[in-house]
Amino acid sequence: MRLLAGLLLSFSLVVGGFARDVESFNEGWLFKKGPFPTDQILFQSGFDQRWQDVIIPHTWNAIDMQNDKNNFYAGEAFYKKTYRPDASMKDKRIFLNFEGVASVAELYVNGTFAGNHKGGYSAFTIEISKLLKFGEDNEILLKVDNSSRPDVVPINHTLFGVYGGMYRPVHLIITEKVNIAVTDYASPGIYISQKNVTNKSADVNVEIKIENKNREAKRVQLLTSIYDMDGKLKLKKETAINVLPQGRQFYNQNFTITNPHLWQGLEDPYLYKVVTQILSNGTVIDEVIQPLGLRHFELKAADGMYLNGKKVPMYGVCRHQDWWQSGSALTNEQHDADLAIIKEIGATTIRLAHYQQSEYFYSKCDSIGFMIWAEIPFVNRVSTKEADNAKQQITELIRQNYNHPSIYTWGLHNEVYTPINYTASLTTELHDLAKSEDPYRYTVSVNGYGDPGHGVNMNADIQGINRYFGWYEKKIQDMEPWIEGMEKEYPDYKIMLAEYGTEANIYHQQEVVGDVGDCCGFDKQYNETFATRFHEIQWGYIANHPYLLASYLWNTFDFATPASSQGGVEARNMKGLVTFDRKLKKDPFYWYKANWSKDPVLYLTQRRATERENKITPVTVYSNIGVPQLFVNGVEVKNYKKGTTHVHYIFENIELQEGVNEIEVKASYKGETYDDKIQWNYERNRNTRSDIRKPQENKNEHIGL
């Protein structure tokens, strides 16, 4: 059972007797990084030397994968720990649950192989009961390898780095011999489905998978209770069952909730709590708690998303999970920081790209109210050997996250192309598998082909398309005729702009940029000013075309790309609206905040382009609280023109004085006065472009990262 934030506040679920015990298993680990001459070194005495103390979550790539293009360690490493189970636990079932190990893992207990897992982003659980010596010390050894391989997706480190290690928490799970299934693809073992959801009633089905490892059948009671957010019992159902010892047993309990309190996204993310228990002679012997958010998602072609019959905006961002100098080994506080930034910008939906993300993050999205696109890492390249693993990972993604109300679609692939027949066929199989596992949610696949009718497209419920007009292709303005062409040719299709964006290095600044962009040259504009203009234009098009059911900015945060360099920085993609360390929000961040957020926004752009060479210059202001007042060196400037949306104000032909210029903007809203100030230094004949580029020189520590 994986942890549910806000639901499992205590890991000892004892009610009148021994129930399930879920303990942190993160401390006391030793670590050794390869390469190693042979696997046999596992069991040689010399292998016990030079171990390093670590606490999980841990990755060995937090530094090298973020700094040195094509020169990071991807290979084998080992973790080991001593565990002494009490003798009284001999008749219990004991499991190890790993929330994330990248990317191939083999578990040994006292030198005996216990199990393995392929895939760096989904959880897995292995039972170790029969390999333990109770009342004695046991050696737990985990072999980990993050080398690229053709049979495990992703098959390379190109689009993003697969940080090696046990980078998410590990749990020890202890149950009785009759228990809710723990090893059903590391799922909670219960699956909550909902149908016919309205504000008058909702039908809820709870499917429970139960195992019995005794020699004989056991008669027990199965009790499921539904509680509201105040902790009051809403409904309960108790069923007497006879659990056979052969195979897993499947049981269903059905409920109809009258006058339900619906989960309405950010507006009202109301969650019920479902508690499923097994009782023997009146004593609880197992218990699992899951969230229940009652909601109905409906995407209407060329219209938008309807949540419980109410149209809601799909203001989308993408999120990579890695942080500067932490890699993927994140704390809950770092996850919370990301969510706070995403909420601040005004996003309503998140594409969690390009892989399954942490249980904690999904749970927080439930309680905050984000609408989530969850996907597997079938990305970038095709080997023709990854089909089994892709199917395994989509099954894990769905079963482990089935009960999260925030998830509205399952992602099948991103930018996988030739061979077309293989890719299209595998995507179709993934779609069918996803629908078998979960018939109640959408599926989505993504490609960069601008034509939805391309051979690898249209094999899922939703067609996502990545387009980078003005960066990787064509001109910024070519986005609008592309949208209009699809509106004409594919009027009844569910189409989303799955990625769009451009690089923005905060130490590359330029006073004035054009509206076109050099999409394919070697001297691309990595400056923040170009990125700001890019987003001003493209969001204007997107906002005016509801044909695109959602759009997702690439990306919320700068992230590591260990196989490439961007804008003079090795191993970095700087398309984020926020720097890698989350310390600085770039100008485009405030553009979207002004357009999306309900919070007051008044913002002056080009605050880092401080050294000016043009005496006559425009000043751009974002304001969602009405017409701003601009003051330049204390003198009010009244003439402005509107830009691409209602929050966009451009004051043209502003004359700067020699030296320091004070730029200030003010606005009044609901009885309060808001202001923003910046300084520009004007010097005749200054060459600002070269001056501002100097600090870069690939010094990561100098660029706010």
What's 231-253 look like in SS3?
Answer: CCEEEEEEEEEEECCCCCEEEEE
**Going by C-beta distance under 8 Å and a sequence separation of 6 or more, which residues neighbour residue 398?**
410, 434, 437, 438
Burial group, residue 504, by CB count within 10 angstroms (0-12, 13-18, 19+): buried
In three-state secondary structure terms, 505 is strand
Phi first, then psi: give them for residue 646, nearest 5 degrees. -70, -15
Per-residue tokens: 702: 């100098």
pLDDT, one tens digit per residue, over 98-154 is 999 999 999 999 999 999 999 999 999 999 999 999 999 999 999 999 999 999 999
Vertex 508, ends 504 and 513: CA angle to 5°? Answer: 80
Return the pLDDT at 702: 25
Asked if 471 and 517 touch (Cβ cutoff 8 Å), the reply is yes
Helix axes 332-345, 359-368, angle to 10 degrees: 40
Phi first, then psi: give them for residue 115, nearest 5 degrees. 165, 170
Distance CA 138, CA 46 (A): 19
**Going by C-beta distance under 8 Å and a sequence separation of 6 or more, which residues neighbour residue 11?**
21, 22, 23, 24
Beta bridge mates, 351: 318, 373
Full-model pTM: 0.94
Rounded (to 5) percent helix, strand, coil in the chain: 20, 40, 45
Among left, alpha and beta (phi > 0; psi -120 to 50; other), residue 659 is left
Torsion sign (Cα): 581, 584, 590, 591: negative
Comparing CA positions, the residue from 171, 162, 168 lying closest to residue 140 is: 171
Beta bridge mates, 22: 173
**Full strand arrangement of the beta sheet holding 648-655:** 602-604, 616-623, 648-655, 641-642
**Going by C-beta distance under 8 Å and a sequence separation of 6 or more, which residues neighbour residue 60?**
31, 33, 73, 77, 164, 165
Per-residue tokens: 63: 């530094």
Determine whether 415 is an active site residue: yes
Distance CA 230, CA 530 (A): 50
Return the pLDDT at 222: 98
Asked if 240 and 224 touch (Cβ cutoff 8 Å), the reply is no
Phi first, then psi: give them for residue 438, nearest 5 degrees. -150, 90
Q: Which of 415, 511, 528, 570 is catalytic?
A: 415
- Rg, Å, the chain Cα set: 27
Per-residue tokens: 609: 């382009």
Asked if 245 and 212 touch (Cβ cutoff 8 Å), the reply is yes
- What stretches in the chain show pLDDT beneath 50? 1-17, 520-522, 690-705
Distance CA 401, CA 380 (A): 24
Strands of 670-704, DSSP E: 672-682
Helix axes 387-401, 359-368, angle to 10 degrees: 50
Return the pLDDT at 47: 61
**Going by C-beta distance under 8 Å and a sequence separation of 6 or more, which residues neighbour residue 97?**
1, 2, 22, 123, 124, 125, 170, 171, 172, 173, 182, 186
DSSP letter (8 states) at residue 657: P
Distance CA 591, CA 522 (A): 28
Burial group, residue 298, by CB count within 10 angstroms (0-12, 13-18, 19+): middle
Beta bridge mates, 292: 272
Amino acid at 147: S
Distance CA 673, CA 667 (A): 6
* Ordered domains of the chain (ranges, CATH): 12-180 (2.60.120.260), 190-292 (2.60.40.10)
Return the pLDDT at 284: 98
Distance CA 466, CA 498 (A): 5
Amino acid at 579: T
Distance CA 224, CA 206 (A): 8
Neighbours of 357 (CB within 10 A): 25
Distance CA 18, CA 344 (A): 44
Distance CA 328, CA 334 (A): 10
Neighbours of 519 (CB within 10 A): 17
Return the pLDDT at 18: 62
Comparing CA positions, the residue from 411, 310, 305, 393 lying closest to residue 349 is: 305
Return the pLDDT at 690: 39
